[in-house]
Amino acid sequence: MIRILSPVLHAREVGPVVAAGAAEIYCGVLPGAWKKAYSNVASLNRREWASANMASLEDLRDVVDAAHALRTPVFLTLNALYTEAQYPEVRRVVGAAAECGVDALIIADLGLLLAARDMGWRGALHVSTGGTTFNDEAIAFYRELGADRVILPRHNRVNEIVAMAARHRDIELETFVMNSGCMNIDGFCTHHHGVKELTRPLGWNIPKMLHADHHVLRWLKRMPAWLRSRASRLASRSADSSCLLAYDVKVTSPTATDAELRQVRESLRNSFGVFTGFDTCGACSLWDFEHAGITSVKIVGRNNPLDKKVRDVRFLRGCLDLLADPSLTRDRFSDLAREAYARIYGFPCDRWCYFPAEDLALAEDHL
């Protein structure tokens, strides 16, 4: 059975997400020394907001103690790319993680993947989505370097994930399933994030800590589709990340009709904005991932409010429980997953998909 990997931000969140059905948890830390030297924009773990990170290694120990009391493993995100000057502090964090019993490091930096054992790390090593694992060769490469698990980028299609899982039974594979459906590829992204935390500390940090983005998103989801798209693009003007800005798009083709060009342009324009940057879902693909042998599915959102984290875990746990019925077809599973989504979240899923519907048909060829 697939495991659910849930984010946490505080030790007090561990019990509720585990009770909801999480089998693994992950977290990030932004120690004061690192933040002072490099600021939150050059985060230790590609979450550039203080509200998405624990502030100290003591907080990390508290999370590990709470999780291990419930026999739940903890994974620490160290998935940025580091300069040589940063490595002494990285080494200190790795040492502290080992000392307090963290079970795995989530890594994108090849140097850290190679050096972690020399730093005294004896736990598992997971290659982050920032490792851009898009094919079999990349999986084999990371396995040879000592990786225990590879986290596949969210941009892989379902049929590709299923095919890779079939050919790599000797390593754990993880894929994304909820939230943060960015159009950009993590390992190739050069956008700056978290800048407003420096330039507008009060006007930005307070709304962030109050989860204003989460509440705006829920408000947007209740709008009619045509109004939602426009409101999302307007809201993008205040985005903290350049990848969420409302880009305009020019589409040209020597063969397409004007109507086709307009359709493509509108589709691309709607792919950017604050709305598309948050709550996407891949629950309908759990049927394929379970049959393919995927180890774990990851929920994004360390800075989401606790009730959102619990709701996400509970929703996925319910979907996975459906898979205990061996006679359940993919189509029927998708129908039940969408019904559960509407029941738990209070609005229909409206096809906010990590993995588009056409992926489901493609996956069947590899099962």
- How far apart (Å, rounded) are the C-alpha atoms in residues 310 and 328? 26
Q: Pick the last residue of a domain from 244, 269, 294.
A: 269
Based on the fold, state whether residues 13 and 78 are members of the same structural domain: yes
> Coil, strand, or helix at residue 241?
coil
- How far apart (Å, rounded) are the C-alpha atoms in residues 231 and 223? 9
The separation between CA 200 and the C-alpha centre of its own chain, rounded to angstroms, equals 26
pLDDT of residue 350: 74
The separation between CA 158 and the C-alpha centre of its own chain, rounded to angstroms, equals 16
List of residues 6+ apart from 289 with CB closer than 8 A: 2, 161, 162, 165, 175, 297
Based on the fold, state whether residues 171 and 217 are members of the same structural domain: no
In a domain, 191, yes or no: no
pLDDT tens digit sequence for 87-126: 999 999 999 999 999 999 999 999 999 999 999 899 999 9
Question: Which CATH number belongs to the domain containing residue 172 in this structure?
Answer: 3.20.20.70
Lowest mean pLDDT among 227-231, 304-308, 358-362: 358-362
Based on the fold, state whether residues 38 and 172 are members of the same structural domain: yes
Q: pLDDT higher for 275 or 166?
A: 166
Per-residue confidence at 74, pLDDT binned at 50, 70, 90? very high
- How far apart (Å, rounded) are the C-alpha atoms in residues 367 and 357? 17
pLDDT of residue 100: 96
Based on the fold, state whether residues 264 and 298 are members of the same structural domain: no
In a domain, 11, yes or no: yes
pLDDT of residue 274: 63
Based on the fold, state whether residues 50 and 139 are members of the same structural domain: yes
Per-residue confidence at 130, pLDDT binned at 50, 70, 90? very high
For the residues 162-179, what does the mean pLDDT come to? 94
Q: pLDDT higher for 154 or 240?
A: 154
The separation between CA 80 and the C-alpha centre of its own chain, rounded to angstroms, equals 14
Lowest mean pLDDT among 4-8, 70-74, 232-236: 232-236
In a domain, 318, yes or no: yes
> Coil, strand, or helix at residue 78?
strand
pLDDT of residue 316: 98
Lowest mean pLDDT among 77-81, 97-101, 112-116, 208-212: 208-212
Per-residue confidence at 231, pLDDT binned at 50, 70, 90? confident
> Coil, strand, or helix at residue 256?
coil
- How far apart (Å, rounded) are the C-alpha atoms in residues 62 and 264? 49
DSSP 353: B
Beta-strand relationship, 24-27 and 124-127: unpaired
pLDDT tens digit sequence for 330-348: 999 999 999 999 999 988 8
Q: Pick the last residue of a domain from 269, 297, 319.
A: 269
Q: Residue 268, exposed/middle/buried by CB under 10 A (0-12, 13-18, 19+)?
A: middle
Q: Pick the last residue of a domain from 269, 300, 325.
A: 269
Q: pLDDT higher for 154 or 3?
A: 3
Based on the fold, state whether residues 143 and 226 are members of the same structural domain: no
List of residues 6+ apart from 329 with CB closer than 8 A: none
List of residues 6+ apart from 141 with CB closer than 8 A: none
In a domain, 188, yes or no: no
Q: What proportions of the chain, in percent to the nearest 5, are helix, strand and coil?
A: 50, 10, 40
pLDDT of residue 14: 98
- Which helix or strand (DSSP H or E) is residue 4 part of? strand 3-7
pLDDT tens digit sequence for 51-61: 789 999 999 99
In a domain, 92, yes or no: yes
pLDDT of residue 270: 67
Based on the fold, state whether residues 257 and 321 are members of the same structural domain: no
Q: Residue 122 belongs to what domain range? A: 3-181+279-366
In a domain, 189, yes or no: no
Residue 311 reports pLDDT greater than 60: yes
Per-residue confidence at 191, pLDDT binned at 50, 70, 90? confident
pLDDT of residue 183: 72
> Coil, strand, or helix at residue 177?
strand
Q: Residue 196, exposed/middle/buried by CB under 10 A (0-12, 13-18, 19+)?
A: middle
pTM of the full structure: 0.88
| DSSP states of 259-305 | HHHHHHHHHHHTTSSTTTTS--B-GGGHHHHHHHT--EEEE--TTS-
For the residues 124-145, what does the mean pLDDT come to? 95
pLDDT of residue 358: 58
195: its two tokens:
């800048």
pLDDT of residue 284: 92
For the residues 234-249, what does the mean pLDDT come to? 70
The number of folded domains in the chain is 2
Based on the fold, state whether residues 289 and 168 are members of the same structural domain: yes
